[in-house]
């Protein structure tokens, strides 16, 4: 029995030895004690690499989190011109050229949005929020809507935004009165999913302790952080100065050291015999020596004479500053690199080096600005523009969209080249009958910011332009000239018919002199709309025979379905219901009016359906109008005010 036990012990020992021999020897000390090892380069003899005794391995990285030091951030922003530019330059470039609405909004609606933005100071408020977000790591803009004072803790309903009720934003930084709450938004479809659902006011801007729903708060955050760090910052970001701070200290220390060297550029050395023994003299004799040196220093100037002892001497020592400028520029480049701003932009320096223009650096910077516009600025306007539309003209267009204007402004030569290219392209399209005179003028006006030309084209000129003009002699597919008559042949008008000229356009007429064809119908419609100025209610029925244009009907119905409306309707039923409502006479449950824009507006009090259409042309929209008769009357009053 003992023999078997001994054999089992020996076998365990043999297996342990084999296991040790199978493992690299570096995993054990000399006495076969296991030790921890790390991957990486190391040369202990040369003291190079990981875990060796050298200066580089003594470096450590500590978590500073200066974002939480509000006093330090305030001091840096107020005292350092570099910090102020670092914080301000990027938001100012993101906002300087604004944005352009790309939807099918008429000119008056665009003007209404512009006036609202100016009256509320919205651009300045958004810019302020972006600056404080970059400085403190977080800021917020509270959406102020007249009449919503008692429902700030409820989700924002666009249908409850009355005309002229949007009053702008109140900007608060994360340290000045707004605190995210721990309850998070759990709606996957919300842009704020995973962020605080409510924010509490802790300052005197609004009632202390007022709770605000996230749909009424525009967030401006600093640099994004990993999840656990974001939790530590209460769902805000990090200050832009946090990763620049060390480089900024290096640059400032270098600058102050260079400044101090200026005082040592030319030192005077006064040699006095026996000076080393004077340190042992009595105090009153040392005082006499100091008085002597003070008198010599007072007599010293560029034009005077220096008197010294017979055995004394006066010499100068000069310092050279060669190489200091190169060192200083390297620190400047480090700061600019950390800030993601070119040296020429951050420090206002001209490009250095042979044939240096700085163009590539600026192009990279403009690319980064465009990225920040999409990631940081677009969510802000995605939230604000629908509110502005409801306040300005009572509806949010289904095709509402916008684009940020180019950050980079072209040079004078580039402007001239662009103006020529755009002018040639627009003229060719107009001459070919592809676009109308109105569209051509709009295209030229839209290019004003790029080219600096066509500034004399006014909105009134565009409104007065012919929407059906086709002019010029252009060849057809076979190389034969296609006259204005031929252009009208494509819409069913024969060249043998009689024509008259209106505003430079050739319009066909019948034997009685009445205007004919599609262009004639547009002119008649325009004259009819002008004749209705002053008449705000039309009681007779309309003659709507055309439904939605193209795929717009399906787009409208899809949007209604997303809102939870008309879910049991097909496209044909939806279009039929809209046409039926627009053809109704005003009276009883049907309220309506005709706008000066030529559109017809109808609302059924019983069903709540609200429709807008362009007579004999198309249906524009139909949706359930929330807010009842008060809402309808406010829309009507708004349209009359615009007219």
Average of per-residue pLDDT across 125-151: 94
Beta carbons within 10 angstroms of residue 215's beta carbon = 17
CB atoms inside a 10 Å sphere around CB 123: 14
pLDDT of residue 515: 55
φ, ψ of residue 406 in degrees (nearest 5) = -60, 135
Q: Sign of the C-alpha dihedral, residues 585, 575, 383, 628?
A: positive
Q: What's the 3-state SS for 348-389?
A: CCCCCCCCCCCHHHHHHHHHHHHHHHHHHHHHHHHHHHHHHH
Is residue 507 within 8 Å of residue 519, measured between CB atoms? yes
pLDDT in tens, 553-582: 888 888 888 878 888 888 888 888 888 888
The residues with which 268 forms a beta bridge, in sequence order, are: 316
Q: Do residues 395 and 595 make contact, with C-beta atoms less than 8 angstroms apart?
A: no
pLDDT at 443: 85
pLDDT value at 528 more than 70:
no
pLDDT tens-digit readout, 232-271 = 999 999 999 999 999 999 999 988 988 888 877 777 787 8
CA atoms within 13 A on the CB side of 579: 17
Q: What is the pLDDT of residues 143-155, one digit of tens each?
A: 999 999 889 999 9
Cα–Cα distance measured from residue 488 to residue 467, given in angstroms and rounded to the nearest whole number? 14
Spans of all domains in the chain: 2-57, 69-299+324-409, 412-531, 552-642
Higher-pLDDT residue of 64 and 129 is 129
Order the strands of the 198-201 sheet from edge to edge. Answer: 178-180, 198-201, 211-213
Instruction: Report the alpha-carbon distance of residue 138 to residue 404 in Å, rounded.
Output: 23
Query: Quick one: three-class SS letters along 261-325?
Result: HHCCCEEEEEECCCHHHHCCCCHHHHHHHHHHHHHHHHHCCCCCCCCCCCCCEEEEEECCCCCHH
Highest mean pLDDT of the ranges 21-25, 42-46, 88-92, 471-475: 88-92
- What mean pLDDT comes out for the span 205-222? 89
For the residues 8-24, what does the mean pLDDT come to?
Answer: 50
Mean of the per-residue pLDDT values of the chain: 79
Give yes or no for a contact between 269 and 315, defined as CB atoms under 8 angstroms apart. yes
Strand 138-145 versus strand 99-101 pairing type? unpaired
Residues 6+ apart with CB under 8 A from 499: 485, 506, 507, 508, 509
The predicted structure's pLDDT at residue 34: 66
Contact 329, 318 (CB under 8 A): no
Neighbours of 343 (CB within 10 A): 20
Sheet with 618-624, side-by-side order of all strands: 590-594, 600-604, 609-614, 618-624
Helix axes 81-95, 359-372, angle to 10 degrees: 70
Q: Please tell me the distance from the alpha carbon of residue 408 to that of residue 96, in angstroms, as a whole number.
A: 10
**40 vs 183 pLDDT, higher one:** 183
Give the per-residue pLDDT at 277.
72
Q: Among 75-84, 417-426, 539-548, name the one with the lowest average pLDDT.
A: 539-548
pLDDT of residue 131: 96
CA of residue 228 relative to chain centroid, distance: 27
Q: Which of 381, 449, 87, 109 is nearest to 242 (CA)?
A: 87
Highest mean pLDDT (candidates 349-358, 391-400, 503-512): 391-400
Single out the residue of 99, 186, 164 nearest to residue 394, CA to CA: 164
The residues pairing with 180 across neighbouring beta strands, listed in sequence order, are 199
Q: For residue 172, is pLDDT > 50?
A: yes
Given a cut of 70, is residue 350 above it in pLDDT? no
- Own/partner contacts of 408-415, CB < 8 Å, gap of 24 or more, are 408/362, 408/363, 408/366, 409/97, 410/450, 415/450, 415/451, 415/452, 415/453
**Number of Cα atoms under 13 Å in the Cβ half of residue 325:** 4
| 3 state DSSP class of 241 | coil
Q: What does the pLDDT read at residue 537?
A: 39
* β 402-404/99-101 pair status: antiparallel
Q: Judge whether residue 53 has pLDDT over 80.
A: yes
pLDDT at 81: 93
Question: What HEC string does 93-134 produce?
Answer: HHHCCCEEECCCCCHHHHHHHHHHHHHCCHHHHHHHHHHHHH
In whole angstroms, how far apart are CA 385 and each of 139, 143, 434? 20, 12, 32
DSSP string, 59-73: -------GGG-HHHH
Cα dist. 642→148, 163, 393 in Å? Answer: 25, 12, 9
Query: What letter does residue 223 receive in the DSSP assignment?
Result: B
CATH class of 552-642: alpha beta
Residues with Cβ within 8 Å of 172's Cβ and at least 6 positions away in sequence, in order, are 139, 140, 141, 142, 178, 201, 203, 205
15-19, 96-100, 108-112: range with lowest mean pLDDT? 15-19
* pLDDT tens track for 57-88: 888 888 888 999 999 999 999 999 999 999 99
pLDDT of residue 16 exceeding 70, the answer is no
Under 8 Å CB-to-CB from 356, ≥6 apart: which residues? none
Decide which of 349 and 7 is more confident: 349
Which pLDDT score is estimated for 505?
Answer: 47
What are the pLDDT digits (tens) for 424-476? Answer: 888 888 877 788 888 888 888 888 877 777 777 877 778 777 776 554 444 33
CB-neighbour burial class of residue 379 (10 A; exposed 0-12, middle 13-18, buried 19+): middle
Q: Are 619 and 544 in contact (CB under 8 A)?
A: yes
- Confidence label for 30 from pLDDT (cuts 50, 70 and 90): low
């Amino acid at each position: 029995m003992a023999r078997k036990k001994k054999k089992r012990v020996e076998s365990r020992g043999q297996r342990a030895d084999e296991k040790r021999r199978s493992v690299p020897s570096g995993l054990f000390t000399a006495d076969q004690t296991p030790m921890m090892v790390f991957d990486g380069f190391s040369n202990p003899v040369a003291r190079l690499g990981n875990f060796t005794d050298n200066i580089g391995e003594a470096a450590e990285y500590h978590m500073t989190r200066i974002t939480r030091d509000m006093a330090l951030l305030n001091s840096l922003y107020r005292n350092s011109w570099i910090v102020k530019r670092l914080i301000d330059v990027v938001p100012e470039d993101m906002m300087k050229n604004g944005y352009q609405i790309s939807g099918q909004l008429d000119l008056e609606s665009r003007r209404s949005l512009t006036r609202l933005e100016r009256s509320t100071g919205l651009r300045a408020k958004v810019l302020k929020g972006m600056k404080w977000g970059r400085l403190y790591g977080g800021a917020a803009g509270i959406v102020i809507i007249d009449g919503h004072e008692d429902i700030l803790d409820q989700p924002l309903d666009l249908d409850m935004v009355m005309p002229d009720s949007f009053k702008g934003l109140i900007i608060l930084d994360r340290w000045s009165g707004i605190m995210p709450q721990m309850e998070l938004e759990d709606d996957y479809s919300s842009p704020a999913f995973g962020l605080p659902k409510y924010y509490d006011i802790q300052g005197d801007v609004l009632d202390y302790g007022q709770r605000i729903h996230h749909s009424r708060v525009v967030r401006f955050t600093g640099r994004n952080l990993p999840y656990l760090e974001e939790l530590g910052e209460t769902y805000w970001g990090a200050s832009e100065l946090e990763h620049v701070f060390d480089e900024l200290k290096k640059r400032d220390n270098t600058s102050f050291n260079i400044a101090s060297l200026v005082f040592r550029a030319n030192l005077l050395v006064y040699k006095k015999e026996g000076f080393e023994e004077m340190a042992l003299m009595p105090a009153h004799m040392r005082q006499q020596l100091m008085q002597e040196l003070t008198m010599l220093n007072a007599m010293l100037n560029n034009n005077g004479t220096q008197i010294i002892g017979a055995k004394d001497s006066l010499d100068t020592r000069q310092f050279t500053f060669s190489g200091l400028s190169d060192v200083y520029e390297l620190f400047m480049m480090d700061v600019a690199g950390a800030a993601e701003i070119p040296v020429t932009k951050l420090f206002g320096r001209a490009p250095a080096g042979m044939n240096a223009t700085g163009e590539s650096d600026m192009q990279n910077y403009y690319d980064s600005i465009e990225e920040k516009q999409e990631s940081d600025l677009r969510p802000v306007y995605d939230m604000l523009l629908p509110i502005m539309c409801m306040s300005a003209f009572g509806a949010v267009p289904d095709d509402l969209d916008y684009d940020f204007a180019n950050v980079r402004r072209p040079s004078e030569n580039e402007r001239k080249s662009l103006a020529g290219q755009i002018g040639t392209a627009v003229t060719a399209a107009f001459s070919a009958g592809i676009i109308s005179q109105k569209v051509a003028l709009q295209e030229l006006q839209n290019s004003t910011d790029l080219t600096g030309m066509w500034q004399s084209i006014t909105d009134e000129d565009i409104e007065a332009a012919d929407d059906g003009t086709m002019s010029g002699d252009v060849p057809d597919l076979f190389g034969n000239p296609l006259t204005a008559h031929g252009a009208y042949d494509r819409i069913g008008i024969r060249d043998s018919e009689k024509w008259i000229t209106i505003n430079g356009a050739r319009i066909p007429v019948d034997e009685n002199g009445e205007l004919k064809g599609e262009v004639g119908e547009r002119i008649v419609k325009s004259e009819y709309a002008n004749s209705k100025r002053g008449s705000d209610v039309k009681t007779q029925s309309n003659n709507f025979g055309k439904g939605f244009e193209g795929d717009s009907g399906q787009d409208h119905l899809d949007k209604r379905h997303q809102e939870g409306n008309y879910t049991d309707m097909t496209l044909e039923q939806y279009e039929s219901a809209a046409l039926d409502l627009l053809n109704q006479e005003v009276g009883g449950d049907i309220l309506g009016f005709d706008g000066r824009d030529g559109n017809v507006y109808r609302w059924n009090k019983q069903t709540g359906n609200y429709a807008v259409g362009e007579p004999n042309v198309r249906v524009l929209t139909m949706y359930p109008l929330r807010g009842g008769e008060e809402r309808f009357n406010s829309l009507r009053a708004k349209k009359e005010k615009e007219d």
